[in-house]
C-alpha cells in the first residue's frame, strides 16, 4: 500500500468558510449570512467584468506564464523593477513558494501565533522547524492580540531562514507601528528573509501603521506579500504578488512557481482592478466606516474589541468561542471561530452586520464581557 510522507499524513485539513447556501438548507431558512472569509461584499468591479468577458474567448490558450502585463503594472504602481515582482495563485501559494525556496529540513520558519493558520502548515510540509511566538496584549489589561517583535527576534537562531510578519494580523486585526517595525527589521540578521504579509494593507487607516513597501526599500532581506483577493474583490480568481528589494528573492520565488497557475482570466482581472484604484479606494472607505460602526456596536455591548486595521473584527471570547459560533450558525450567521481563543467576524454590508448583531444579542446572555 502506498503512503504519503508522515508530515503530510499529519496535516490538518484547511478549513474554509462554510457555504451559506448549505447552512440555509440545513437549518431551513431562506438565507444565511457569511461573515467568515474576509471577502468584500461588493460585486466585481465593472472594469473587471469587462476584462473577463474580453479574454473569455481566448481561454483555449495557455496564459502568459510570466504574467508580463500584470507584473509591469505592479512594477509601475510601486516604483520597482519588474525583476523585483513575483506573482502567484493567491498569496497563500506565494507563501508556499517562499517556503519551497528558502526552508528545508534542519532550518526553521518563525512567526507570531495566533496568526494566519497556513504558517505552521508551510513549515510542516517542508519538513522544517516551526517557531511560534505568542502574541502579547496590545493594550494594558487586554488580551493577547498583537505581535511581540522582541520575542520574534529572540526566536531567531542559526536555523532560521524566514520570519513571517502578518501586518495587520489575521485573525486579530491588530497592527504594529512604524518605529517598532523599522527597528525590528534593522535588527533581523541578514541571513533571514522577512516576509511582511500585508493581505489587508488597503484597509489600514492608522497613519502610524507603515506601508511595508516603503520599509522594504534599502533592506535586501525584506519582501512584501499582497493579494487581490480582499480589497480588490478577486477572491474567486486567485492572484497575489510578492515584491522584493533584492531581485534574487523574487527570482527564487518565481523558480518555485507552478507553471500557468495564474490564469489568463485572473491576470486580465487584476490589471483591470489596478486601473480602477479610485473606485476600489471608495469601496474600502465604506468598509472601514462600517468596521468602525461594528466595533462601536460590539463595544457598546461590553465586548473588548481591539482597533482593527483589517476588514474584520476580533472578539476574544476564550472558552465560549465555539459555543457562540455554533449559536450564531443556528441563527443563520457564519463567523470564523478559533476554538478557545476568539471569533473573527468579517465586516459585511450594514444589513449583514445588523443581522449578526441581532443574532449576537440573542446569545450574548451567556457570553462574558470582554476582558
Rounded CA gap, 279 and 343, in Å? 30
Rounded CA gap, 273 and 277, in Å? 7
Rounded CA gap, 240 and 45, in Å? 17
Contact (CB, 8 A) for 133 and 112: yes
Residues 6+ apart with CB under 8 A from 58: 264
pLDDT of residue 370: 42
pLDDT of residue 364: 85
Chain centroid to Cα 192, Å, comes to 22
- Widest Cα–Cα separation across the chain: 58
Level-2 CATH architecture, domain 46-274: 3-Layer(aba) Sandwich (3.40)
Sequence spans of domains, the chain: 6-44+278-366, 46-274
Q: What DSSP designation does 211 have?
A: P
pLDDT of residue 369: 47
CATH class (in words) of the domain with range 6-44+278-366:
alpha beta
Rounded CA gap, 364 and 355, in Å? 14
Rounded CA gap, 280 and 295, in Å? 22
pLDDT of residue 371: 36
Q: What DSSP designation does 147 have?
A: -
List the grid coordinates of 6: 508522515
Q: Do domains 6-44+278-366 and 46-274 have the same CATH topology?
A: no
* Residue stretches of the chain with pLDDT short of 50: 369-371
Residue-level length of the chain: 371
Amino acid at each position: 500500500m502506498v503512503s504519503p510522507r508522515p508530515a503530510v499524513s499529519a496535516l490538518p485539513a484547511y478549513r474554509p468558510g462554510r457555504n451559506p447556501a448549505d447552512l440555509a438548507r440545513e437549518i431551513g431558512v431562506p438565507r444565511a449570512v457569511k461573515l467568515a472569509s474576509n471577502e468584500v461584499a461588493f460585486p466585481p468591479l465593472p472594469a473587471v467584468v469587462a476584462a473577463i468577458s474580453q479574454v473569455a474567448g481566448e481561454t483555449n490558450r495557455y496564459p502568459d506564464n510570466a504574467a508580463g502585463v500584470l507584473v509591469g503594472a505592479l512594477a509601475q504602481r510601486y516604483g520597482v523593477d519588474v525583476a523585483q515582482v513575483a506573482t502567484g495563485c493567491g498569496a497563500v501559494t506565494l507563501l508556499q513558494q517562499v517556503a519551497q525556496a528558502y526552508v528545508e529540513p534542519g532550518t526553521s520558519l518563525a512567526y507570531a501565533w495566533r496568526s494566519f493558520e497556513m504558517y505552521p502548515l508551510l513549515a510542516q510540509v517542508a519538513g522544517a522547524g516551526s517557531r511560534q511566538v505568542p502574541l502579547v496584549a496590545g493594550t494594558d489589561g487586554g488580551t493577547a492580540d498583537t505581535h511581540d517583535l522582541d520575542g520574534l527576534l529572540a526566536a531567531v537562531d542559526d536555523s532560521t531562514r524566514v520570519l513571517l510578519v502578518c501586518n495587520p494580523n489575521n485573525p486579530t486585526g491588530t497592527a504594529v507601528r512604524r518605529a517598532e517595525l523599522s527597528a525590528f527589521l534593522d535588527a533581523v540578521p541578514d541571513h533571514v528573509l522577512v516576509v511582511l504579509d500585508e493581505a489587508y494593507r488597503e484597509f489600514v487607516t492608522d497613519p502610524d501603521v507603515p506601508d511595508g513597501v516603503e520599509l522594504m526599500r534599502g533592506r535586501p532581506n525584506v519582501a512584501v506579500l499582497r493579494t487581490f483577493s480582499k480589497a480588490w474583490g478577486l477572491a474567486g480568481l486567485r492572484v497575489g504578488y510578492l515584491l522584493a528589494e533584492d531581485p534574487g528573492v523574487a527570482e527564487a520565488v518565481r523558480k518555485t512557481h507552478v507553471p500557468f497557475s495564474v490564469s489568463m482570466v485572473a491576470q486580465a482581472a487584476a490589471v483591470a482592478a489596478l486601473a480602477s484604484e479610485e473606485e476600489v479606494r471608495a469601496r474600502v472607505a465604506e468598509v472601514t466606516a462600517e468596521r468602525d460602526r461594528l466595533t462601536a456596536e460590539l463595544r457598546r455591548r461590553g465586548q473588548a474589541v481591539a482597533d482593527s486595521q483589517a476588514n474584520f473584527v476580533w472578539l476574544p471570547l476564550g472558552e465560549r468561542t465555539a459555543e457562540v459560533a455554533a449559536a450564531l450558525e443556528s441563527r443563520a450567521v457564519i463567523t470564523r471561530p478559533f476554538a478557545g481563543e476568539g471569533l473573527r467576524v468579517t465586516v459585511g454590508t450594514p444589513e449583514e452586520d445588523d443581522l449578526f448583531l441581532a443574532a449576537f444579542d440573542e446569545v450574548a446572555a451567556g457570553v462574558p464581557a470582554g476582558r
